Chain A
Amino acid sequence: MDSVVRAAAVFLFLMIVFRLAGRRTLTEMSNFDFVLVLIISEATQNAMIGDDNSLTNAALVILTLITLDIGLSLLRERSPRLSRWLEGVPTVIVVDGKPLMPLMDWARVGVDDVLAAARESQGLERMDQIKYAILERHGKISIIPKSEN
């Protein structure tokens, strides 16, 4: 019993914390984020396993996490409303080459980030070549370039 409860508690806690932390936390991993992930995994391991190193415990913990993940994906698919709250919504942050600064500030995305995404995905150089920039639910910035003509 306690294996399942511990794993579920850790899963829900991490889900809430990462949701509160916001989407920039884990997508564009900096060195510090990488260290953070390592430390978090160590800490959660202790919380989930405790002093029970049995095979059965490991199997139950894994099964709990995967089942919760499947369950949440089913819920998200069925309820778009829940999905919006759990995963966030795509946000337009640049329109016709004009950055929407209040939104970008809230999202903690800078002009540099948008330009970097524009270079990487579309090979664009300037802000005025961008028609739309959208901060996606998973933290990536997608760029729609202005058409050439």
Chain B
Amino acid sequence: MEHDLRVQQITWRVQRISWFGMVLVLVAALLGLFGSGPLSRSFAVDPGSPLRLEYERFGRQQRATMLRLHLGSDLTQGSRALVWLDRSYVESVEVREISPPPLDSMAGIGRIHYTFAITEPGRPTAITFEVRPQTIGSLSGQAGLDNESLIRFQQWIYP
């Protein structure tokens, strides 16, 4: 019987090393390197405005991810809030659900505007967009309130 022990020993060694790699990938996944986890959860702010965007740094193609705009109490003084997302971002994702539903939405040249009713003026609130990224790779977006504040954010979308 042919018996090439050298090949077998190399194979075993490579296997043992690859197991460590597999465990490392899983630990990274648990931490959120491939979406959903502490490494992925992220906040972007517009300096000088009480507007905060909560988003996931790592997403997956066709899998729902949240964009949550936190409006500070300074931003909800009126009975309406006008939020916008940049058009190229909206075109790279599928907007599945907006919660609460907007009263109105309008398409501009570079921005898509959504109008929301504010029931308790002067109190902080949040607006959540559920989106499914359609592209793979780097995805950059902008969001803001009225035409004043602007938040830039960057996502990485895995296939």
Among listed A51-59, A77-85, A96-104, A137-145, interface-contacting one:
A51-59
User: Shortest CB–CB separation between residue A67 and chain B, in angstroms?
Assistant: 5
Pick from B19, B26, B61: contact of A54, CB below 8 A. B61
Q: Is the CB of A57 within 8 A of B60?
A: yes
Identify the closest chain A residue to B25 (Cβ).
A63
Question: Is B49's CB within 8 Å of the partner chain A?
Answer: no
Residues of B within 8 A of A64 (CB): 26
Q: Is the CB of B35 within 8 A of A56?
A: yes
Question: Is A60's CB within 8 Å of the partner chain B?
Answer: yes
Interface size classification for chain A: 10 to 19
Residues of A within 8 A of B26 (CB): 4, 60, 63-64, 67
Pick from A4, A54, A70: contact of B60, CB below 8 A. A54
CA–CA, A67 and B60, complex, Å: 22
User: Shortest CB–CB separation between residue B144 and chain A, in angstroms?
Assistant: 29
CA–CA, A64 and B158, complex, Å: 18
Q: Is the CB of B62 within 8 A of A54?
A: yes
Q: Is the CB of A56 within 8 A of B62?
A: no
Residues of B within 8 A of A (CB-CB), count: 20
Pick from B36, B63, B64: contact of A1, CB below 8 A. B36
Question: Is B22's CB within 8 Å of the partner chain A?
Answer: yes
Question: Is B102's CB within 8 Å of the partner chain A?
Answer: no
Q: Is the CB of A56 within 8 A of B23?
A: no
Q: Report if A55-B36 is in contact (Cβ < 8 Å); known contacts: A63-B22, A63-B25.
A: no
Question: Is A66's CB within 8 Å of the partner chain B?
Answer: yes
User: Shortest CB–CB separation between residue A36 and chain B, in angstroms?
Assistant: 30
CA–CA, A60 and B158, complex, Å: 12
Which B30-46 residues have a C-beta within 8 angstroms of A? 30-32, 34-37
Residues of A within 8 A of B158 (CB): 54-56
User: Shortest CB–CB separation between residue B3 and chain A, in angstroms?
Assistant: 23
User: Shortest CB–CB separation between residue A120 and chain B, in angstroms?
Assistant: 27
CA–CA, A61 and B91, complex, Å: 30
Taking each of A2, A51, A56, which has the highest tally of chain B beta carbons within 10 Å of its own beta carbon?
A: A56
Residues of B within 8 A of A60 (CB): 25-26, 29, 34
Q: Is the CB of B30 within 8 A of A1?
A: yes
Residues of chain B whose beta carbon lies under 8 Å from any beta carbon of chain A: 19, 22-23, 25-26, 29-32, 34-37, 60-64, 158-159
8 shortest A-B CB distances, which residue pairs?
A1-B37, A54-B60, A56-B158, A52-B63, A55-B159, A1-B36, A67-B22, A4-B29
A-B contacts, 20 listed (Cβ < 8 Å): A1-B29, A1-B35, A1-B36, A1-B37, A3-B29, A51-B64, A54-B61, A54-B158, A55-B61, A55-B158, A56-B35, A56-B159, A57-B63, A60-B25, A60-B29, A63-B22, A66-B22, A67-B19, A67-B23, A67-B26
